[in-house]
Amino acid sequence: MHVFPLRVYYEDTDAAGIVYYANYLKFVERARTEMMHLLEASYRESVAQRRIAFAVRHCDMDFLAPARLDDVLEVRTSVTEIGGASVTAEQVIRRDGDDLTRIRVRLACIDAAGRAMRLPAKLRTALQTVMQH
């Protein structure tokens, strides 16, 4: 499991000081990106040279409790499935040990032209280290 800490800033909230629902997607995207950088040293280079990218194919979100201005949160990411050209992850946003939001996201691995491509073997092996068993 990968754990990504973050703080809720004013720009993340609505007029009531509660995190705007779409910003949870930004939080989990940042967490997945940081996880990929830690898992695969050449990931940044692969993305920069447009040899590989991930596109969200499907996403389910369950909002359990609101996050608020200045909360310190953590995003916990676990890979639950690795397909030939896809990765499914479960991400939980927590505050003080309590789950606030649960997100399940399926990502398609694509090439520079936007076509599905097989996950590179090195990346597949790296992703298996955060695979939920």
Task: Report the catalytic residues.
Answer: 14
Query: What residues contact 57, with CB distance under 8 A and at least 6 apart?
Result: 86, 106, 107, 108
Task: Report which of 1, 114, 15 is spatially closest to residue 55, judged by C-alpha positions.
Answer: 114
Contacts of 80 (CB under 8 A, 6+ apart): 88, 89, 90, 104, 131, 132
